[in-house]
Structure 1
Amino acid sequence: MQKNELISVSNEMCKKLLSIIDQEEVATKEKVADYLFESAQIIMNIKEEEVSEKGFAKTLFLDAYKEIATQSLSSYASSNVKIQELTKLHEETLSKCQAQHIDLPALTSKFDEIQTLMSYEVQKANEIITELTSKVKQLEEKSNLDSLTKIYNRRALSTYLNKICSNKELPYNFHLLMLDIDDFKVINDKYGHIAGDKVLIFVSNILKKTLREGDKVFRYGGEEFIIVLNRIDDKHCKLITNRLLELIRNNKLIYKNDNLSITMSAGVTNFIRGDTPNSLIARADKALYQAKKNGKNQMHGIK
């Protein structure tokens, strides 16, 4: 990265950090440290060619801020539930005292005061939750990265395919791969959703590390991924696709002392002049369906 690019990224990081501290009711050292660590990791993972893309640095830190905002949201939601439970308990206690005709005006007055304070805290927490929810939604709409896997998301895929499909003088051919993790529901059912998330991260890392710099990998949704292989013929596309499936198949993910065996199926198609993003994805999806039907853990190509 050039010096001016590093300055841009650093400035964006500082702006987001100051914004977090300013908006937090209580900004702890731990939250600041977590943010800085996350930012450092993101910076280290930035590819040189991506830095030049307009707004990419801002997108990275919007995504990091989204994670912190989500954590805050969860914290406030938990506090809200506890406060509501306490308020209900005090209401029941006060009602019981009144029903038994216990003349305790001081106690009643104190309970009323506690209830008022707690009601205020509930209202305040709800307002913060609403505000954070809105901000998280806005950040998700602006972000081009999937928050879990840190690869491009479906929004980025749409933008990218629209751009290259609309270029009537595209000087090169490309192929589109749609990959799906085989029996992903079985993994979730047997080991839980945390294990499922780890599988998605595991697969994403293999795809990112294996592909060339000019290729793009996107999380399409759920356990589905889309890869765009640029400047490649049918023969080499087949070799790369089978190589990816082999790496997924041969690398084991260890989760709670268990070796999780993971396989993927792939549907492959090449770009045809006049293709739209929808027609391109539809052919790849049809090919993926055939790969699954043929027994999974394999690729199928459709032109």
Structure 2
Amino acid sequence: MRAAVVREFGGPEAVRIAEVAVPEPGTRQVRIKVAAAAVNPVDAGVRAGVFGGAGKTLGLGWDVAGTVDAVGEPTAWRAGDPVVALVPGLAEPLGAHAEYVVVAADAVAAAPASVDAVHAATLPLNGLTAVQALDLLDLAPGASLLVTGAAGAVGGFAVQLAAHRGIEVVGHAREGDEEAVRALGAARFTAGAVEPRSVDAVLDAAVLGAPALESVRDGGAFVAVRDGVLPRAERGVRTENVWVRADGARLAELVRLVDEGVLTLRVAESFALEDAAKAHARLAGGGLRGRLVLVP
């Protein structure tokens, strides 16, 4: 089968299409025939060597939408089931940017019925990151939350999920994104500094760090979405990173919210798998509102 891989670190040109063996599912695993797979900043990090792995062939792709092709018993999934899943891209030699991918059965959820596979492929990584970050913040309805990077993929899901929980969201993004951020459910919008100690918590999707922490009240909470990037804790503010993990049951909840119209799935552009390097170049160009998606 064909797969997008990295054998030497570098820019978008380091992404190669290779012929590799079709993976076989083991016990409690499923093989998915990939219909679509999103391209995320973490893929650019793998390509650039941020996570190590020199001298190895590294697969790319954390998000997958497709159909179950084969199963390793015991599992309730059956061939032909339309599904979505989070693929642990840093733990496997082959990721979702391929014609087939194998994942743990408990990482899988039935695909949304209301959208196509290209849109469905944008949900797992960013949706799970957002909901797991909100779980860490543990805010009650009526609490106030600053979401930085509110127009981006993780930030956009966080705005929608928090608003759905009855949380008052302050969306932080560029001036030109105000209409889009408010449409996602933000009660307030800002493109500049936020008043110090004015919100109960921050979900820092834009990795602003210390300036965003200043907006949290004493004893509030701060969660960053990039591993290991945390400002120094102060004033009793609890600070944590969200370490996204595969969770098929939680992903199924997000799928339900998609089908209920609570969550919007945004696609900026789709590319053929053969054009994975072009997709990486487009990602590097920035300014995207929605995910890039590869289609085998």
Provide TM-score, normalisation by structure 2.
Answer: 0.27
Which structure is higher in helix share?
1
Which structure is higher in strand share?
2
Provide TM-score, normalisation by structure 1.
Answer: 0.27
- Higher RCO (CA-CA < 8 Å; seq separation 6+): 2
